[in-house]
């Protein structure tokens, strides 16, 4: 079973869940707002994936941050901001063994399909 990390009301997360169901891949949704974001899990993701890929600088949450919060961004600062505002993560985040897929474009769909069916 695959876990999709994101927000239930996120269009891309809903699209991912529908796509997974259509592909016959069992998945559950972990909603950051409802279920929280584990500090150790975020640290693992940041070890696997560059913080600049995980940090969503195009969303409403980012735009609402003050200029002081946005300057001199680095991994540590991004991690702290994401823990306080999990909606700053690009969505969905999908763990795939020792990798993660961030977002849900064609490349991520291919990686998810390959992971799901190679595990079976």
CATH code of 15's domain: 3.40.30.10
Check: CB of residue 82 under 8 Å from CB of residue 89: yes
Q: Which residues are catalytic, by number?
A: 10
Task: Say yes or no to pLDDT of 3 above 90.
Answer: yes
Segment holding 46, helix H or strand E? helix 39-48
Verify cis geometry, omega within 30 degrees of 0, for the bond prior to 92. Answer: yes
Question: Nearest Cα to 17, choosing from 30, 1, 28?
Answer: 28
116 token code pair = 């799901």
Hey, CA dihedral for 107, 109, 114, 116, is it positive or negative? positive
What residue numbers bound the domain in which 25 lies?
2-119
- Is 0.95 topped by the overall pTM? no
Instruction: Give the chain's domain count.
Output: 1
Q: Tens digits of per-residue pLDDT, 47-80?
A: 999 999 999 999 999 999 999 999 999 999 999 9
Phi, psi (deg, nearest 5) at residue 6: 175, -145
């Amino acid at each position: 079973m695959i876990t999709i990390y994101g927000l239930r009301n996120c269009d891309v997360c809903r699209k991912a869940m529908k796509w997974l169901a259509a592909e016959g891949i069992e998945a559950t949704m972990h909603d950051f707002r409802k279920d929280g974001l584990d500090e150790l899990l975020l640290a693992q993701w940041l070890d696997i994936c560059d913080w600049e890929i995980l940090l969503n600088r195009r969303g409403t949450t980012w735009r609402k941050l003050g200029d002081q919060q946005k300057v001199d961004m680095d991994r540590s600062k991004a991690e702290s901001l994401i823990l306080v505002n999990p909606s700053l993560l690009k969505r969905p985040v999908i763990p795939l063994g020792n990798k993660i897929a961030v977002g849900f474009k064609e490349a991520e769909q291919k990686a998810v399909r390959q992971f799901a069916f190679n595990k079976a």
